[in-house]
């Protein structure tokens, strides 16, 4: 019931319910951001940005909340944070002019690993929110039982099938990226 209240509070601007939502759900988002290298201020920003994203999505015709609101909010926040971190790391990589002419095998290997990681995360972000969450939970070494419970799946078997489908789609996205073949040659 609170899922619909939170969604309608976002759409109507109901400050009382929004305050309750923030009090109940912000600790989960703060933990997510802090666990992934962010700060308290980052968590507040991401939470606010997520509410705006949810507001925009909910206004589109045909929008239907197909998971618990907290799961949806968590997924949106995770995607926003990962996207922000990826942009920051891409901007932070600058090579000094004199370093461009130094041949260093270890630096080449590190750069190759970074490029492969960027391709992985870029492809991961192209997946839907549910697939991203299933794979992130799997990569965090969560059990199929835990994944099924957190995702609201009916069984471990379905969680296993969904993980496999998402993993196959991720591999397909990576292999279809123009950068994949170039990275294979290196």
CATH class given for the domain over 1-92 = mainly alpha
DSSP string, the chain: -HHHHHHHHHHHT-HHHHHHHHHHHHHHHHHHHHHTT--HHHHHHHHHHHHHHHHHHHTSTT----S-HHHHHHHHHHHHHHHHHHHHHHHH----GGGGG---HHHHHHHHHHHHHHHHHHHHHHS-HHHHHHHHHHHTT--HHHHHHHHT-S-HHHHHHHHHHHHHHHHHHHHHSHHHHHHHH-
CATH class given for the domain over 96-186 = mainly alpha
pLDDT digits (tens, 9 = 90+) for 49-72: 988 888 888 888 888 888 888 888
Q: Where are the domains of the chain?
A: 1-92, 96-186
> Does the pTM exceed 0.95?
no
pLDDT digits (tens, 9 = 90+) for 14-58: 888 888 999 999 999 999 899 888 899 999 999 999 888 888 888
pLDDT digits (tens, 9 = 90+) for 145-178: 999 998 998 899 999 999 999 999 988 988 888 7
């Amino acid at each position: 019931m609170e899922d619909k209240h939170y969604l309608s509070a976002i759409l109507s601007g109901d400050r009382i319910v929004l305050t309750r939502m923030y009090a109940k759900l912000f600790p989960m988002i703060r933990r997510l951001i802090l666990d992934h290298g962010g700060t308290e201020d980052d968590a507040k920003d991401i939470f606010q940005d997520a509410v705006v994203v949810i507001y925009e999505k909910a206004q589109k015709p045909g929008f239907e909340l197909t998971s618990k609101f907290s799961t949806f909010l968590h997924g949106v926040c995770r995607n926003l944070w990962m996207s922000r971190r990826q942009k920051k790391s891409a901007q932070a990589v600058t090579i000094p002019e004199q370093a461009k002419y130094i041949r260093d095998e270890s630096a080449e290997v590190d750069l190759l690993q970074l490029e492969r990681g960027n391709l992985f995360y870029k492809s991961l972000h192209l997946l839907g929110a549910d697939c991203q969450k299933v794979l992130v939970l799997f990569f965090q070494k969560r059990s199929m039982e835990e994944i099924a419970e957190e995702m609201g799946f009916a069984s471990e078997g379905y969680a296993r099938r969904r993980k496999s489908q998402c993993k196959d789609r991720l591999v397909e996205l990576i292999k279809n990226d123009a950068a994949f073949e170039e990275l294979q040659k290196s």
